[in-house]
Amino acid sequence: MEQRRPILTLKTGTFFLSPAIFFVILFLIVPFVWIIVVSFTNQSLTGATALNPEFVGLQNYLDLFNFDTWLTRGNFGSSMIITLEFVIGSAWIGQVVLGMGLAIAFYRRKGALREFVNTLVILCWIIPDVVVAFSWSAYLDRDYGTLNAILNLIGLGRPDWQLAFPLFAIILFNSWRGAAFSMLLFSSALATIPPSYLETAEVAGASFWQKQRDIILPLLRGHILTDMVLITLWTFNTFSPFLLTGGGPAFKTEVISIFTYRIAFKFFDFGMGGAIAVVAMVINFALALVYLLMLRKQAVYS
Amino acid sequence: MRTKNIHRIFFVITILAMLVTACAPKETAQPTSASTAPTAAPPAKEVPPVAEPIKLSMICRCVVGGTNANTANWILDYVIPEFEAEMKAQGKDVTVELVQFGGSDEELKARYALDLKAGSGNDLMAFDGFWTPEFAEGGLIKPLETIVGASYADWEGWSHISSGVQQLLSYQGQHYGVPTGTDARVIWYRKDLFEQAGIPTDWQPKSWDDILATARTIKEKLPGVTPLQLNAGTAMGEATTMQGWYMAFLGTGNNVYDFATNKFPVSGQAFLDTLNFYKTIYVDEGLGDARTQLLTDGRDRSFLSFRDGTTAMLVEGDWFWRSVIAPGGSAGMDQRNDLVNWAMMPAMTPGKGINGQDYVTVSGGTGFILNPNTKYTAESWGLMTLMYSKDSLDYFQTLQPGIKSRDDVAIPNDPILTAMAKTMLPLTTTRPSDPAYSENISPALQLMTERVVSGEMTPEQALEAFTTAMTAAIGADKVEEAK
Amino acid sequence: MKRYRKRISSVLYYVFAVLAIAFFGLPLLWLILTPFNSRASLAVEIPTAPTLDNFRAVFQNKFAVQALTQNNLIIAIGTMLGVTLIASLAAYALSRARIPGRNAMAYTLMLFSSVVTGTAAMVPIFLIIMGMGLIDQHLGVILVLIGGNLPTAIFMMRDFVDDIPASYEESAMISGASPFQIFKDVALPQVRPGMMVVAVWSFVNAWGAFLIPFILLRSSDKLPASTAIYSFYTEAGTPNILLVSAYALLYTLPVVVFYLLVNWKYGFRFFGGIKR
C-alpha cells in the first residue's frame, strides 16, 4: 500500500507514534537493558550477594550451558527441550491444526451451530488464567476428573495425567486455550479467498482434500506463517502452565518461563534469571528472523 | 452515521481516560505508611509531632474467613483496638491497618524481598523464622537493637521467652523480631484403622523397622489404605525438609547442619540410610503414595486422605492437629479427639538419634519482625510489645490453642497438645542460622528425595548429585561427611 | 454423485462440530456446575438440590467482592482504553507515514513484549514503578499492562489499517483537513471493528492479569480478582472448592458478557487476516 505522497509526514507520524514509543521505552527497553546488565553479575535479592553484587563476566551463561549437567531435570538444557516439545505440540500441532480445522469446517457455513462452537472456542481463550487452571485441574484429576470418567466409560481406564503424562497434559491444555486465535485468523483469511476459485474447482470435480491442497493452503501460506510466528512467540513465553502444574512433577513441565521464575523468584538469583531471559530473547529473535526471511522469499515467488 | 458513532465513542473514551487519571492518587499524595514511602523519605528516625495522626500497617498471610483466619481475628479483634486505645490514652492519634495477604508463603517471601529492597514495606511483617538469616545477610532486615535502640531489651517479654525460642527470629546473636510460638513434629495416626488392622492403639514405634513393620501390616490387612506419609519432593517446599527429611535424618545421629564444626554434612552413610528409608516406603514396597509427594497439591491430598480414613500414619507438626484436622479445619474431623493419636518419631535404632536420643523432632516458628524502613519506630515497637503481651497471647489461645512463645501463656483445654509440647520440646532441634540453609541446602534436600521417590535415581545417584551440587554451591570448606 | 458427496460432507460437519463441542466444552462443565452444589468435588456432578449458598458465602468476603466490582473494572477499562487508543494512533502512523524500518520495528516490539510479560523483567518493572511512586496504585498496574500489551495490539491494528483504502483520506487531505482530523474522522470509523478486537483482547488480558498486579499492588482492598481468589484458600493452602468455583464463575462472567456484546454489535473477527 505505498502511496505516492504519504498521508502523514514523517514528523506527524512520529508524533502519532510518540505515546507508544514512551511506553515501549519505559516498560520494554529499560527493563531489557537492566536484564542484560544484571545477567553479567551475581546480583541476588537476599543473602550476601544482595548487598555487594559482583561482576562475574560470562559465568551465568557458562553455568547455564554446563554440558555435564544441563540435561538433568531441573536444569537449563532439560527446560529447553521441554519448551521445544511444548511449542511443537501445543502451538504448531495443537493450535495451528485445530484452528485451521475449525476455520475450514465452518468456512461458508451459517447457523446456530457454527455460532455456538465459535463462541465456545473463543470463550476458552478469554476466560481468566486462574479460572482456567482450576477448571483444568478438576478436569484432569485421575480419580474424579471428567476426562477420565469419559475414558473409563469407553474402556480406556484412568490414566494419571498429572503424574504420568504431565507434559502431554499441558500441551492439551494449551492447545485448548489458544486454538481460538488461529481459528479467527484463518477464518478471516479464508474469507478473502474469492468463492469463484472454489466453485471452479468444484465444477472441475476436485475432491475436498484436493481443494485444500491446491487452493486453500497455497493462498493461506502467508497467514499460516504469521500465525506460526505469533503463537510460537506466545507459547514460548507463556506462564499459564505454572498455574496447572507449578512446573512439576519432578520438573517435567518446567518450560523456560517457569524455569526463569523459579531461579529469579524462588532463589532470588537475578543474575542467572537475567541470563536465561537473554538466551530466551535470542531464541525468539532467531525465530522471528527465520520468519521474516521466509516471508521475503514468498514475496519473491508470488 | 458511522462518523457520528465513532465520535461518540471517542468522546466517551476521552472522558473515561481523564477520569481514570484523575481518580488515581497523585504521586505527591500523603504516604499512608511506610508502604508507599518513596526512597527519598525524610530521615527515618525523625519523631513526628504529637498531634500528627500516625498510620501504621502490618501484614500477615492471614485472611478473615480464609487462610490463618485465627491470626487475622486475633489482630483485628484484640491487638489493633487495644493498641489504638492505649495510644489514645497517651494522647496520640494512631490507626493501624492490617494487610491481609492471601497468597502462598513463597509469594509472600518474594514480595517482602522486593518491598524491603525498595526501602518500603509494612511496619510490622509476619515472618517465618528460617527466612531470617537470608534476609539479614542481604541487609533487607535490621536487628531490633539497630531499629529501636538498646531499650528494646527492656521489654518484660524477653524474660518469658526461652532463649531457644528467641533464636527463631535471630541471626548471629541479634534479635530481628518476636516469635509468636513454636511447634514440634510427630507421627499422627488413625486409631480406628489401627484397630481394624489389629494394632494396639497406644502405638509407639522404637525404630524405623517398627514403623515399616506396622506399615506392612496395614498394607496387608487394609487394602486401599495408604499406610504412611513421610513428606518428600519439591512441590511441598520446606514441608518436605521439616516434616520429611529432618524427621528421618535426625534419627541417624546427624543434624542438617553440624553446629560443632559449622559445616553442612553432604555425604556419608547416614544420607544413604535415610534415602533408602524413603525408597523402601515409596518405591520398593509401596507403603506410601508417591503420587501425593509429587503433585503440586499432593500435601493437601494426603490431608484429605487422612481425614477420609485412607491414610493411616502421617508425619506432621502440631499444626496438623490444631488447624488442619481440627473441627472446621481444611480437612476437619468432627471426631478428631476419638480417632486420632500421636507417637514420637523414633531414631533409626534406639539411641542412634541426634545427641544419642531414642526419639527425635524438630521445631520451627513464625512471628513478626520490625521493618527497618518504618517511620514510626517507637509506635511500631509499642505495637509489637502489646501484641506479644501475656494478655494478648492468652486471647489468641482462646481462638486457636497452640504452643506460644511465652512461658506464662498456657495451652488451654487441649490435653493432646499439652502432652505433646511437654514431651517433645525437650527433645527438639532447630534449623541452622546460616543463609545457605534456605538458599541451597533445603531446596537440594527436597530435590534429592524427589529423585529417589519418583524412581528417577537410585539413592547413590541422587546423593552423588547432591554432594556435587552442594560442594560447588557453598564451597568445599563448608561441607563435610555425615557421622 | 454431487448430492451424495454433499450429504457425506454435512455428516462429517456435524461429527466434527460435536467433537469440537466436547473438546472445548467438557473442561468448563465443572466450572459451571460446581458453584451450585452443596458438596465439594472435583467430579462433575449435576446438583440434585441446586443452592446459592456458595455465592452468598462469597459475598461475605468484602475484599473479594470489591476486587470484582471495583478493582478489576478500573484496571481492565484503564488498560483497554490506553491500549486501544495508543495502538490505533501508532498503527495508523506505521501504515500511513513512511517511517524507515517500520516492519522491523513492529517485529522488534513484538519480541520485546514477550520479555516484558515474562517473569525476568518483574524486578526492573517493580523498581521503575517504585521510582514513579506508583506502588500500590492501580495506575501503576495500568501503565505496565499498557506497555506489555501495546506491541501485539499495534501488530494487530496495523493489519486493519493497511486493509482500508487510503483514497478517502487522500481526498480529505486535499480538502485541507489536518492529519488528526483525518485520523479521527476518516480513518478511525473504518477501523472500528479492528479497534473493537483490540479492545476486547486488551480488556481480557488485563482482566485476567495475575503477576503484575500481584507484584505492584499491596493493599487488600486494591487487589484484583486473580489474586483475591486465593483468599478462599485455607491455612493449609487448600482451595475451598465450593467458594473458589463460585467466585471463579463470577470472575468469568464479565469478560464473557463483554465479548458477547462486542460480537453482537460489531462482530469479533480479524478482517483481512493478519498476514504481514
Do C184 and C120 touch, CB atoms closer than 8 A? no
pLDDT at site C238: 67
Does residue B44 register a pLDDT over 80?
no
Cross-chain Cβ contact C111/A30 below 8 Å: no
C35 and C156 share a domain?
no
Q: How many domains does chain C have?
A: 2
C117 and C185 share a domain?
yes
Nearest CA in chain A to C42: A138
**What angle is formed at CA A26 by the lines to CA B40 and CA A39, rounded to 5 degrees?**
85
Looking at every residue in chain B, the average pLDDT score rounds to 86
Cross-chain Cβ contact C90/A7 below 8 Å: no
Q: Locate B265 and state its grid cell.
A: 554434612
3-state class (DSSP) for residue C157: helix
B263 phi-psi bin (left φ>0, alpha ψ -120 to 50, beta other): beta
Q: Which of A32-36, B456-460, C214-218 has the highest mean pLDDT?
A: B456-460
Q: Which of A76-90, A185-199, B27-41, C154-168 has the highest mean pLDDT?
A: A76-90
Q: Give the DSSP letter of residue B161.
A: B
Do B398 and B407 touch, CB atoms closer than 8 A? no
Q: Is residue C270 part of a domain?
A: no
Does residue B9 register a pLDDT over 50?
no
CA dihedral A79, A82, A88, A93 (to 10 degrees): -140
Identify the CATH number of the domain in which residue C102 sits. 1.10.3720.10
Which residues are registered as beta bridge partners of B56? B96
Does residue B317 register a pLDDT over 60?
yes
Chains in contact with C via at least 3 Cβ–Cβ pairs below 8 Å: A, B
Q: Which of A255-269, B237-251, C175-189 has the highest mean pLDDT?
A: B237-251
pLDDT at site B171: 92
Sequence-ordered list of residues with C-beta below 8 angstroms from that of C85, at least 6 positions apart, any chain: A19, B13, B17
**Residue among B427, B375, B420, B385 nearest B406 (CA):** B385
Query: What is the residue range of C28's domain?
Result: 1-51
C158 and C103 share a domain?
yes
A1 falls in which pLDDT band (50, 70, 90)?
very low
Cross-chain Cβ contact B137/A45 below 8 Å: no
Do A46 and B439 touch, CB atoms closer than 8 A? yes
Helix (H) or strand (E) holding B266: strand B264-267
C240 contacts on B by Cβ (under 8 Å): 66, 330
Structure ipTM: 0.88
For residue A286, the number of C-alpha atoms closer than 13 Å in the C-beta half-sphere is: 7
Q: Is residue C275 part of a domain?
A: no
pLDDT at site A24: 87
Q: Any idea where the domains of chain B sit in the sequence?
A: 48-179+365-428, 185-363+432-481
Cross-chain Cβ contact B323/C139 below 8 Å: no
A87 falls in which pLDDT band (50, 70, 90)?
very high
Q: Is residue C272 part of a domain?
A: no
Interface with chain B: mutation pick from A43, A45, A160, A242, highest number of B CBs within 10 Å = A45
Domains B48-179+365-428 and B185-363+432-481 equal at CATH topology level: yes
Q: B151-208 pLDDT, tens per residue?
A: 999 999 999 998 888 989 999 989 999 999 999 999 999 999 999 999 999 999 999 9
Q: What percent of chain A is predicted at pLDDT more than 70?
A: 97
Q: Is residue C43 part of a domain?
A: yes
**Which A residues 82-111 touch B at CB under 8 Å?**
none
pLDDT at site B40: 40
Give the pLDDT mean for A269-297: 83
C237 and C261 share a domain?
yes
Interface with chain C: mutation pick from A26, A35, A123, A126, highest number of C CBs within 10 Å = A126
Q: Is residue A287 part of a domain?
A: yes
Q: How many domains does chain A have?
A: 1
Which residue type, as a one-letter code, is found at position C23?
F
Residue A169 Cα distances to A52, A138, A249, B42, B294, angstroms: 43, 12, 12, 53, 15
**Which A residues 197-256 touch C at CB under 8 Å?**
208, 222-223, 226-227, 230, 233-234, 236-237, 239, 243
The overall longest dimension of chain B from CA atoms, in Å, is 91
Query: What is the residue range of A162's domain?
Result: 73-301
pLDDT at site C234: 63
Of B260 and C115, more confident: B260
Cross-chain Cβ contact B330/C235 below 8 Å: yes
Q: Is residue A8 part of a domain?
A: no
C32 and C135 share a domain?
no
Give the pLDDT mean for B386-404: 93
Nearest CA in chain A to B438: A267
Give the per-residue SS3 of chain A. Answer: CCCCCCCECHHHHHHHHHHHHHHHHHHHHHHHHHHHHHCCECCECCCHHHHCCCECCCHHHHHHCCCCCCCCCCCHHHHHHHHHHHHHHHHHHHHHHHHHHHHHHCCCCCCHHHHHHHHHHHHHHHCCHHHHHHHHHHHHCCCCCHHHHHHHHCCCCCCCHHHHCHHHHHHHHHHHHHHHHHHHHHHHHHHCCCHHHHHHHHHCCCCHHHHHHHHHHHHCHHHHHHHHHHHHHHHHHCCCHHHHHCCCCCCCCCCHHHHHHHHHHHCCEHHHHHHHHHHHHHHHHHHHHHHHHHHHHHHHHC
Q: Is residue A251 part of a domain?
A: yes
Is B239 an 8 Å CB contact of chain C? no
Nearest to C81 among B6, B16, B297 (CB): B16
Is A292 an 8 Å CB contact of chain C? yes
For residue C93, the number of C-alpha atoms closer than 13 Å in the C-beta half-sphere is: 27
B113 contacts on A by Cβ (under 8 Å): 45-46, 268
Peptide bond into B223 cis (omega under 30): no
Which of C14, C29, C51 is where one domain is finished? C51
Nearest CA in chain C to B31: C133
Low-confidence residues of chain C, pLDDT below 70?
Answer: 1-2, 114-118, 120, 234-238, 271-276
- Pairing between strand B185-190 and B340-343? antiparallel
B94 falls in which pLDDT band (50, 70, 90)?
very high
Identify the CATH number of the domain in which residue A252 sits. 1.10.3720.10
CATH superfamily, with its number, for domain B185-363+432-481: Periplasmic binding protein-like II (3.40.190.10)
C221 φ/ψ angles, rounded to the nearest 5 degrees: -85, 5
Nearest to A250 among B135, B297, B454 (CB): B454
Q: Is residue C276 part of a domain?
A: no
Nearest CA in chain B to A244: B296
C27 φ/ψ angles, rounded to the nearest 5 degrees: -60, -20
Which residue type, as a one-letter code, is found at position C44?
V
Distance from CA of B309 to the nearest CA of C (A): 17
Cross-chain Cβ contact A248/B234 below 8 Å: yes
Is A261 an 8 Å CB contact of chain B? no
C152 and C104 share a domain?
yes
- Between B239-253, B435-449, C208-222, the lowest mean confidence (pLDDT) is in C208-222
Give the pLDDT mean for B235-242: 90
pLDDT at site B196: 95
Q: Measured between alpha carbons, how far is B65 from B73 in angstroms, rounded to an integer?
A: 9
Cross-chain Cβ contact A20/C113 below 8 Å: no
Q: Is residue C104 part of a domain?
A: yes
Q: Hunting for cell 521445544 — which residue is that?
A: A84
For domain B48-179+365-428, the CATH architecture is 3-Layer(aba) Sandwich (3.40)
Does residue B451 register a pLDDT over 70?
yes
C17 contacts on A by Cβ (under 8 Å): 105, 113-114, 117
Q: Is residue A58 part of a domain?
A: no
pTM as predicted: 0.84
Q: Measured between alpha carbons, how far is C206 from C202 in angstroms, rounded to an integer?
A: 6
A143 contacts on C by Cβ (under 8 Å): 42
B323 contacts on C by Cβ (under 8 Å): 235-236
